[in-house]
Amino acid sequence: MESDIRAEYKIENGHSYIAIPDINFLDNFMEIHKNNENYEGLVYISGDARKHKNIDAERIWITGENVENYSHIPPTSVVKISENIVKYAENKKLIIMGDNAGEYMISQNSYKSFLNMINHINDKIMNSNSTFLLEIDENVLDKKELAFLKRTLHPINF
């Protein structure tokens, strides 16, 4: 199944990516992942704990609320989120930040602190055998902010 993901989304281990998705991108990506042994050890960082419940993954919910049965981190804890992602990169294959987690973090922090976090994560991912995927809606960023993210992370080609 490795060839299915790599052929469709052109991703490689040791890289970080940004996805400016159509509405079904993450659903499709998760469906492909579900049957892919190469991506055992998925960590899913979400802004919405209700999404993708059927995917076998370790989950972190980006929320300011204490929610029973969910591992969660407040969106303002940029350092803690970054530390967790870097820790997961040491032994997990695929780390996805999606379902508004990035947008939520930007809304609660400065864009600069978010970009610094992404740069730190990207540096660590490049020295690992993991893949980091950030799903973000391009409409929440201005052109300059989006350009910085695209220079830092490899855009996924659809």
Q: What is the pLDDT along the chain (158 residues), one digit of tens a residue?
A: 343 444 455 667 778 877 776 556 666 666 666 665 555 567 777 777 667 666 667 777 888 777 676 778 888 999 999 998 888 888 877 888 887 888 889 999 999 999 999 999 999 998 888 888 888 888 889 999 999 998 888 887 54
Rounded Cα distance between 58 and 41, Å, is 8
Phi, psi values for residue 128, rounded to 5° = -130, 180
Superfamily designation of domain 2-155: P-loop containing nucleotide triphosphate hydrolases (3.40.50.300)
Closest CA to 129 of 83, 87, 94: 94
Q: What is the pTM of this model?
A: 0.80
pLDDT in tens, 71-88: 788 889 999 999 988 888
pLDDT in tens, 132-142: 888 888 888 99
